[in-house]
Amino acid sequence: MEKLKRVLTQIAYNNYSAPFHYTPLLPILSFASKLYGFALFLRHHLYAFGLFKSKRLPVPVISVGNLTWGGNGKTPMVEFLSLLFSRSGICPLILTRGYAGGDEAKMLKRHLAGTSAKIGIGANRAATAACFLNKYGYTDHGGPLFSDKMYPIQEFGSCYNSLKIGVVILDDAMQHWSLSRDVEIVMVNGIMLWGNCHLLPRGPLREPVAALERADIVVIHHADLVSYAQLRSIKSRIIEVKDTINIFFSRLVPCYFFEAKNHSSTLPLKLAANTIVLCVSAIGCAEAFVRTIKKLGALHVDIMDFSDHHIFKEKDINMIKRRLRKLENRFEVKPIVVFTEKDYDRDPVILTKLDSSRVLVLHSSLEIMPSFQRPPKSFEELLMNHIPHPSPEVNTLQ
């Protein structure tokens, strides 16, 4: 399965032609993509004609999604939004599927501990939302879901009781149409973009690029790792789809390391400087992770890249140990191992089996970048302008 995922990734992100030895797979993948596209078309029209119904929640709903698989910054954006609302006195409810072992949900729980944020896990997000809204209550907005008046974030939050749910954030939900949403945020990977522009499984697209027309906000992620000319090109391509769309840029800012055996530890980023580092990851965009470690001043960075959401097993740990021994023999110094937080939260225990090496985990946070004369604050203002001003009354679901 790991090998198949690598093959599909290599084909999907080769913009011109697949490697020669994969050519026999292309007709099969193309046919599968056409079937997928037809199913997508049919499902979309069933919702459009009202044969499938989207449920409306009694609080504003923000969807964070993407057009391609993995590495687009959805989970960091969900965390960013949750902290934004929590610090403003608005209790957010995150609804997530808990896909592939729930590494993203585990990371969100760890990062948002101590805030008012609540996390609901389950494929049926409407049912999950109903359970949480019944249990905790919700803020009754008493008005339209969209407001023409702009309220400062502090005033917006002052009307809320932080124990009651005031907003719902849908994680990875652009293709989840069973719940109505008030704001559609689409994350775009600035490094990998849309690959060969084919639908799954021939390419990385979950929907055609034209689906960006549904978006209210597009955030180009990893913008700090892309040239200014490339950013302008990506922005122009998005505007071709919808010229009124709001476009922002984001990056992951490295904050500190922590020991894999002690997630409460906080270690400075300078630990990576002038050292030999082995980057091990099973995420959607390993390139961004590796570039970040290189920027921290490592003497040499080696890479072990697994497919997204890969669950590390004993054989993988042994492979890592062998690679570490080779690096130690080559450079005559003991290397350190660095994992991403998603890899850590997928299975913290198995990483401790690398006990003969120093194992660090990189903690990063999403930041909205100022660009094209647009300050980061305008992202918050635009978001709040899509959310209705609350009334102080609080109701609960019957």
As beta bridge partners, residue 171 has 64
pLDDT for the residue numbered 394:
39
Nearest CA among 366, 367, 363, 368 for reference residue 107? 363
In the block, which residue shows the tokens 């459009």? 48
pLDDT for the residue numbered 8:
84
Q: Is 385 helix (H, G, I), strand (E, B) or coil?
A: helix
pLDDT for the residue numbered 155:
47
User: Which residues does 316 contact at the CB level (< 8 Å), separation at least 6?
Assistant: 306, 310
Q: Is the peptide bond before 76 cis (omega within 30 degrees of 0)?
A: no
β-strands 246-259, 262-267 pairing: antiparallel
User: Which residues does 346 contact at the CB level (< 8 Å), separation at least 6?
Assistant: 101, 103, 106, 282, 309, 311, 312
* DSSP element (H, E) containing 45: helix 26-48
Classify each residue of 274-285 as buried b or exposed e, where b means 16 or more C-beta atoms within 10 Å of its C-beta: ebbbbbbbbbbb
Task: Give backbone dihedrals phi and psi of 162, rounded to 5 degrees, phi first.
Answer: -65, -10
pLDDT for the residue numbered 3:
77
DSSP codes joined into one string, 160-178: --TTSEEEEEEES-TT-TT
Nearest CA among 387, 318, 369 for reference residue 166? 387
Give the domains, in start order, of the chain with CATH numbers: 61-252+372-395 (3.40.50.300), 254-365 (3.40.50)
**Average pLDDT for consecutive 10-residue bins of the chain (398 residues)?**
79 66 85 97 94 94 94 96 93 88 89 96 94 92 39 47 86 94 96 93 96 96 95 96 95 97 96 98 94 97 94 96 98 97 95 94 95 76 73 40
3-state secondary structure 263-280: EEEEECHHHHCCCEEEEE
CB atoms within 10 A of CB 52: 13
Distance CA 174, CA 64 (A): 7
Within the chain, strands assigned E span 61-66, 91-96, 118-121, 138-139, 165-171, 183-189, 217-221, 246-259, 262-267, 276-281, 300-305, 336-340, 358-369, 394-395
Whether 19 and 5 have beta carbons less than 8 Å apart is answered as no
pLDDT for the residue numbered 363:
98
CB atoms within 10 A of CB 396: 14
Q: Is 295 helix (H, G, I), strand (E, B) or coil?
A: helix
Q: How distant, in Å, are the alpha carbons of 11, 34, 216 from that of 40? A: 22, 10, 21
3-state secondary structure 213-272: HHCCEEEEECHHHCCHHHHHHHHHHHHHHCCCCEEEEEEEEEEEEEECCEEEEEECHHHH
